[in-house]
Structure 1
């Protein structure tokens, strides 16, 4: 208890109206987020951000509305308080992370950091992150500034809330709550709609998230006019509401996981739970559980802890080839708490207590933020400062930059791209490549092979959409994708069958992905069956009509799938610190080959695809023949990257994988169909 009292001497607990239980609520929010990010058993811990949104809406709404009603609201004072609350710790974290990235990050990683740091300074990181997300970007867990997306949402709310609430304060008293409720309802409806059409927008952007902040604002308005003092409230109903609120927080934290369609309606329980607990001050839950010294401690450092924990675990993900072991995660979590306490004690508190006049402080904050943006943003302008790395690595890493084919249809698209270089013209005999992004990655090599066989070439591919008929993938992140993919494949099949000049059809795919929980294969007709059965049925329904139509059909096996990011291995070979952290073997082969133990095999999918090709009269070709030997498979060769990530080939990798196929295409394409064995 003495430690807690000493800790709180420089805290806002001295301010009138301070509520210990709100810091306790913050502790639930931040600890659930930290546990989730560090891989501890709270799979729904991401809902802690929604709790933070409600708290912010309530506190900011109370402040603005209270002053606006009295006619004394000042935009300058409001933004001064926001700046001294947010900016100092954020700048410290950005600079610390920038130094660490300068030591460890590859040029591309440092370049991306510079872009995201500038976006964080100017409160638009949620927009930048939303716009930069695509199929081929590295996992979000390797972005050390990803946590700033929620700050972007809140800071954009801070721009709009004063305007809205000062206008609301001018309305008749009976209309004010309804006005805010209407805005929140529209936001919730938008969130529900976007969860069906653009889940990334629903997650990252303010409009579909505003209702969560608005719930806190609504509580602030209601309490301003209708809430009875604590001593006059009905005791039993208050206690029930508090326990219900706590349950509405805890159940999602424990029960939700990465497969939960979130946010949208699934965010209602934590939002409602936070609203109830904000209103039940005086209940046992608030007085005893949320106001205990440990909860208050973590609540007070919650902002700094939220900022510091993510760069630490994210850089571990960025540098290490495999998931950080439990010992690392526990150590980094403890370091996060220590840094958060230091940040709160020696950065947040002194700046919040500064007596500097408002306008002078705002000018200084603007200057500091501009300087921080210039320093961190220089990494973006300088291309990640490639001078920090050996020239050979810089050239090699350039080959790992994904340049998706313009013919690869993205999510939301239901028709193949039939313009430019995507389709053959002139009516000459042609080769068509169909399938998902794994097929598209083979496109440069397939185009070259078609040209060497005097064939026209077209590519009809779509992300996450293997060429299956009446079978698709149900993806949580993209609820409409299954229908869109099925419609896409129907149109592709119609085109292939309607054009006799398409003589050869090459089908490629990431076959194993639909055999997992990440968008499993499902029948579009409602037929029962397991994902492997659906794969067999859907591929057979694609192969057999094409063979009957006289097409030569080639089914490609999948390329090796590495359990690590190949560019990480190459980066470790070029950076002694990264090599030491990964325990990299001291021989050159490790910098180009992955062993069998470091690859994720697909025995079920491979057998099904090979068997369907054989039974359906198609030819099965295995890209592994060009990439693998008896000891492992290549991801790099002679200073060239063969992969852009764990699963997609680069143009150089596609050429190497396709090399064994060249004799078949160039030497046999004009021979009668009967002279070819069905299995190749």
Structure 2
């Protein structure tokens, strides 16, 4: 095929959009659509290679695969080695283990499946995944594997015309499935071949069903329309829209029209800058994302100023010294041992696997870092936690149940503080009952938009237990993370999983403003406290300070990087997030004769909320106190139980 300057320029337009979007999404809100443009280009080129070979009866599947491997694997392998070496020195073992898994999956081209199990491509915490961008390479490679095999199978039974119709049929099936899958679960649909194949097949249709446009002015017009569709998608589409779905038609159709026009002399596409960037586009794409993550990981401000030029420079160097190195292609599977990328593949996959299996090679980290990270797993040791995890109602009984001194009810914050209450008692003589279910505060009328959250039914069982007078006159302590249900998550590690919008409603499931939700929480809080305080002594605890980061991981990272700056979270910031709930608890408690416990008096008494105590983290993430840290609150509970 004659060199297509328009396609080379299209590559430049695609990769620059992706790079700009990743460094600053506000510049090009739909810049991620550049990947869709790449898919169309790949589909066009691969279809032309396969069908030309089939038509001439010269197509060789092994030669096709080795040519693709020579093109893709060397740059990917070198980048993976560089990131693994960096990780050895600068990543925590948990992060290094995750990187090892990503390297392994990216080199066997299944990383798209790995990332489809995460929070979604656009979620904040995805910017900590060093090889997230390899999902598209995995999709392309999977297409390269299956597409020629399907065609070779059908070739035995179908005519040339019908073989082309197979491609058209696959295009329609994938497009229809894409719309359905995006509507059902766009986070998963984003990554998978089944919902992306139509984009590559659209490029294939541009080759199989070419429309000959004779007049230059019509070719220019077609190309301009295509460019307009792509540019419009870059500016008008955003990560808040379900993707890929039918909206992906805009950049895909734009790329299709540009390829179809086959006009080479448009200065907007064929210019010196785009010629070079187009040549380097694959390498730029492979290197730019780890550079983005580097800036996030090291908290560099205005990183784009350095990151974008560095991405282009590395793309140029990678093209010159890796991509341009010609590797021979082979015709027989017997010659696989002569294929150099095969050895790169084996070595890097093994390295990734070893890093993963050795827990990030944790043997080479200091004891201080490992002890700090151990706080992540330092949770309630009492194993009656089926209620917490299986969303069941369960009385977790601790100590002497013939003399129960306290009942603790609430969500996972209840679970994380259970032993702080138990530590105030002689468990041989006294006992505690913990009734905890994650994401289930004790409010009688609360419901969750998540249909899997059966908190309402669990609360009815909790209320029935109290009314049964089984624990008559035993103090009940209510603990929950109420701000998160209204304000949403504030920990970047969990924002993508749980969102930032209110998760609860009362009665009418229609979405409400936060002020409306707060008003209903206030009403339900009063009703709940007044009803149960008539039966037992009630104590309700104000919210625990929530850090917008994972405390033990951040402390360990600072230890690794030699950063001595303590993690701070001001009492003022705590109030900004929690003050409305604090006022609701205070007012409702006053109306119902209920006593209020305030952990901030202990944790934030200096104006800065504690994240560490005596050099050790007191949280196991951003908001759950660890078994070490929760004992700081034992004196507060001791006052409750002293009688």
- TM-score category (smaller protein): 0.7 to 0.9
Among 295, 305, 317, which residue is 2:296 paired with? 317
- Name 1:538's counterpart in structure 2: 521
Q: Check 1:300–1:388 CA distance in 2 against 1; reply closer, same or farther (3 A cut).
A: same
Single out whichever of 309-318 and 166-175 deviates more from structure 2.
Answer: 166-175
Q: Check 1:369–1:536 CA distance in 2 against 1; reply closer, same or farther (3 A cut).
A: same
Please tell me whether the aligned partners of residues 421 and 634 of structure 2 are also in contact (alpha carbons under 8 angstroms).
no
- Name 2:500's counterpart in structure 1: 518
3-state DSSP of counterpart to 2:214? helix
- Name 1:297's counterpart in structure 2: 276
Q: What is the distance in 2 between the residues matched to 1:211 and 1:605?
A: 49
Among 423, 434, 441, which residue is 1:457 paired with? 434
Q: Check 1:74–1:660 CA distance in 2 against 1; reply closer, same or farther (3 A cut).
A: farther
Q: What is the distance in 2 between the residues matched to 1:381 and 1:448?
A: 37
1:169-208 matches, within 5 Å, as: 169=155, 170-173=157-160, 175-208=162-195
Please tell me whether the aligned partners of residues 521 and 534 of structure 1 are also in contact (alpha carbons under 8 angstroms).
no
Q: Does 1:558 align with 2:543?
A: yes
Q: What is the distance in 2 between the residues matched to 1:508 and 1:119?
A: 39
Q: What is the distance in 1 between the residues matched to 2:192 and 2:402?
A: 47
1:223-263 per-residue CA deviation (whole Å, 9 max, x = no partner) reads 42x42334268x44x55543333333223322333433333
Among 472, 481, 488, which residue is 2:454 paired with? 488
Q: What is the distance in 2 between the residues matched to 1:291 and 1:459?
A: 64
Q: What is the distance in 1 between the residues matched to 2:161 and 2:426?
A: 74
**Post-superposition shift, 1:635?**
1.8
Among 618, 629, 633, which residue is 1:642 paired with? 618
Q: Check 1:431–1:227 CA distance in 2 against 1; reply closer, same or farther (3 A cut).
A: same
Please tell me whether the aligned partners of residues 555 and 619 of structure 1 are also in contact (alpha carbons under 8 angstroms).
yes
Q: What is the distance in 1 between the residues matched to 2:315 and 2:511?
A: 52
Q: What is the distance in 1 between the residues matched to 2:181 and 2:159?
A: 33
Q: What is the distance in 1 between the residues matched to 2:602 and 2:252?
A: 54
Q: Check 1:177–1:574 CA distance in 2 against 1; reply closer, same or farther (3 A cut).
A: same
3-state DSSP of counterpart to 1:301? helix
**Post-superposition shift, 1:662?**
1.8
3-state DSSP of counterpart to 1:204? coil
3-state DSSP of counterpart to 1:288? coil
**Post-superposition shift, 1:93?**
0.4
1:253-292 matches, within 5 Å, as: 253-282=234-263, 287-292=266-271
- Name 2:481's counterpart in structure 1: 509
**Post-superposition shift, 1:282?**
1.9
Q: Does 1:433 align with 2:409?
A: yes
The TM-score, its normalising length taken from structure 2, stands at 0.82
Gaps of 5+ in 2: 489-498
Q: What is the distance in 2 between the residues matched to 1:20 and 1:423?
A: 73
Q: Check 1:399–1:507 CA distance in 2 against 1; reply closer, same or farther (3 A cut).
A: closer
- Name 2:74's counterpart in structure 1: 88
Single out whichever of 494-503 and 441-450 deviates more from structure 2.
Answer: 441-450
**Post-superposition shift, 1:90?**
0.6
Among 59, 64, 71, which residue is 1:73 paired with? 59
Q: Check 1:207–1:403 CA distance in 2 against 1; reply closer, same or farther (3 A cut).
A: farther
Q: Does 1:627 align with 2:612?
A: no
3-state DSSP of counterpart to 2:478? strand
The TM-score, its normalising length taken from structure 1, stands at 0.78
Please tell me whether the aligned partners of residues 469 and 539 of structure 1 are also in contact (alpha carbons under 8 angstroms).
no
Among 203, 225, 228, which residue is 2:211 paired with? 228
Q: Check 1:109–1:131 CA distance in 2 against 1; reply closer, same or farther (3 A cut).
A: same
**Post-superposition shift, 1:349?**
0.9
- Name 1:5's counterpart in structure 2: none
- Name 2:464's counterpart in structure 1: 498
**Post-superposition shift, 1:337?**
1.0
1:316-465 matches, within 5 Å, as: 316-320=295-299, 324-326=300-302, 328-350=303-325, 353-355=326-328, 357=330, 359=335, 363-401=339-377, 407=386, 416-418=391-393, 431=407, 433-435=409-411, 441-442=416-417, 445=420, 454-462=431-439
- Name 2:47's counterpart in structure 1: 61
**Post-superposition shift, 1:345?**
0.9
Gaps of 5+ in 1: 1-15, 474-481, 669-680
- Name 1:677's counterpart in structure 2: none
**Post-superposition shift, 1:612?**
4.5
1:213-252 matches, within 5 Å, as: 213-217=200-204, 219-220=205-206, 223-224=207-208, 226-231=209-214, 235-236=217-218, 238-252=219-233
1:552-573 per-residue CA deviation (whole Å, 9 max, x = no partner) reads 6654433323355434542354
**Post-superposition shift, 1:339?**
0.8
1:317-343 per-residue CA deviation (whole Å, 9 max, x = no partner) reads 2233xxx211x3311221111111000
1:33-182 matches, within 5 Å, as: 33-39=18-24, 41-131=27-117, 139-169=125-155, 170-173=157-160, 175-182=162-169
3-state DSSP of counterpart to 1:399? helix
Please tell me whether the aligned partners of residues 450 and 665 of structure 1 are also in contact (alpha carbons under 8 angstroms).
no
**Post-superposition shift, 1:347?**
0.4
Q: What is the distance in 2 between the residues matched to 1:454 and 1:248?
A: 68
Q: Does 1:31 align with 2:16?
A: yes
- How many residue pairs get aligned? The number is 610
3-state DSSP of counterpart to 1:506? strand
Q: What is the distance in 2 between the residues matched to 1:399 and 1:546?
A: 34
- Name 2:285's counterpart in structure 1: 306
Q: What is the distance in 2 between the residues matched to 1:244 and 1:554?
A: 67
3-state DSSP of counterpart to 1:96? helix
Q: What is the distance in 2 between the residues matched to 1:25 and 1:332?
A: 22
3-state DSSP of counterpart to 2:158? coil
Single out whichever of 93-102 and 37-46 deviates more from structure 2.
Answer: 37-46
**Post-superposition shift, 1:483?**
4.5
Q: Check 1:173–1:593 CA distance in 2 against 1; reply closer, same or farther (3 A cut).
A: same
**Post-superposition shift, 1:99?**
1.4
The two structures, once aligned, show a CA RMSD in angstroms of: 3.8
**Post-superposition shift, 1:67?**
2.0
